């Protein structure tokens, strides 16, 4: 019997609300999503990955290739704008972000990709697949589960094999953006999220840590195939639609942007190494990853244990809320 397959994105959906997961991943229902920033990130993702697959490492050449591909993608981009001026402005923002990405890490990452002896198809996506197989608790049927995740590309730094994902902003990471150690605030946030008696509800931050666990384990498989056992593994998110890092000069009609990546493996992994080759994984995150996967496979989709937090935090932006029996029941419930 083949092992079942889940996804890191799906597990984060489950953390937001088990019922949302049921609608989206069990019944395959389409939810409403009108966030244009995701579509714009997809445009940049496609353009940047095209440049990285080209083998170019010179920044000017990378910008030329990515810019040409962005122009092609933009020509067929059908996002509704209220005016041509707005459309031109949003294109200028994309150009500025592309330039900022290449300045921050893009050229260095391209050189790192070139340093890996592997086909570009194994190293550059978009949506480059990684997988991690985990053992479920004793007596479970099935005994193991495969969890998939994707990154946009893999690159080599001086010390690490790094998976890189493009995201709209780093805001969903919450506290993880400002902490580089597990002990203390991050450990407390993670534990409290799973405590039904706590008001702490951080599905995005917790989901990012579970995703990091999957990505790092998947990178270890790639690392072995590439013969890079002496390298550690890292996971970096790069924001491409952070308006707080975009400055517009309306007088001169210019846009400036900065891009600041975040390395999630600063938090997820302890800073202990064994034989200078492997970093000790954080067992708390890994064990919770297995717990959540087990609940999903068991069909535990009742949101009641955390309903108050789900109703206030997850329901307002949920594309399934209008047809959710739990939400409707709460709306018409009589007190007393």
pLDDT for 189 equals: 95
pLDDT for 163 equals: 98
Asked which of 10-19, 57-66, 91-100, 268-277 is least confident by mean pLDDT, the reply is 268-277
- Nearest 5°: the CA angle 185, 154, 39 is 80
The whole-model pTM stands at 0.93
pLDDT for 332 equals: 67
Q: Is 229 helix (H, G, I), strand (E, B) or coil?
A: coil
> What are 223-255's pLDDT values in tens digits?
999 999 889 999 999 999 998 998 888 778 789
The mean predicted confidence, pLDDT, of the chain is 92
Pure H helices in 226-320? 265-268, 283-297, 307-313
> What are 276-294's pLDDT values in tens digits?
555 677 899 999 999 999 9
> What are 316-332's pLDDT values in tens digits?
999 898 889 998 887 76
Separation between Cα atoms, residue 190 and residue 181, nearest integer Å: 13
């Amino acid at each position: 019997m083949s092992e079942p397959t889940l996804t890191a994105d799906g597990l984060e959906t489950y953390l937001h609300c088990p019922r949302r997961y049921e609608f989206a991943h069990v019944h395959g229902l389409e939810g409403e999503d009108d966030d244009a920033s995701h579509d714009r990130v997809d445009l940049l993702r496609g353009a940047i990955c095209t440049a990285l697959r080209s083998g170019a490492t010179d920044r000017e050449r990378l910008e030329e290739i990515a810019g040409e591909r962005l122009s092609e993608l933009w020509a067929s981009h059908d996002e509704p704008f209220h005016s041509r001026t707005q459309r031109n402005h949003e294109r200028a923002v994309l150009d500025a972000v592309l330039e900022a990405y290449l300045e921050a890490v893009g050229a260095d990452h391209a050189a790192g990709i070139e340093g890996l002896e592997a086909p570009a198809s194994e190293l550059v996506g978009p949506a480059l697949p990684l997988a991690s197989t985990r053992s479920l608790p004793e007596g479970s049927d099935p005994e193991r589960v495969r969890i998939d995740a994707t990154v946009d590309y893999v690159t080599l730094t001086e010390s690490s094999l790094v998976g890189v994902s493009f995201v709209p902003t780093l805001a969903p990471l919450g506290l993880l953006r400002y902490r580089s150690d597990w002990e203390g605030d991050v450990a407390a946030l993670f534990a409290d999220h799973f405590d039904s008696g706590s008001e702490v509800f951080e599905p995005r931050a917790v989901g990012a840590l579970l995703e990091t666990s999957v990505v790092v384990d998947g990178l270890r498989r790639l690392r072995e195939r590439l013969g890079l056992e002496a390298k550690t593994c890292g996971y970096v998110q790069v924001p491409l639609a952070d308006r707080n890092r975009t400055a517009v000069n309306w007088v001169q009609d210019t846009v400036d942007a900065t891009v600041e990546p975040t390395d999630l493996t600063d938090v997820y992994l302890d800073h202990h190494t064994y034989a200078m080759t492997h970093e000790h994984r954080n067992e708390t995150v890994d064990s919770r990853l297995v717990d959540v996967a087990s609940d999903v496979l068991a069909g535990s989709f009742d949101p009641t244990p955390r309903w108050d937090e789900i109703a206030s935090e997850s329901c307002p932006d949920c594309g399934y809320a209008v047809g959710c029996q739990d939400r409707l029941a709460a709306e018409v419930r009589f007190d007393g």
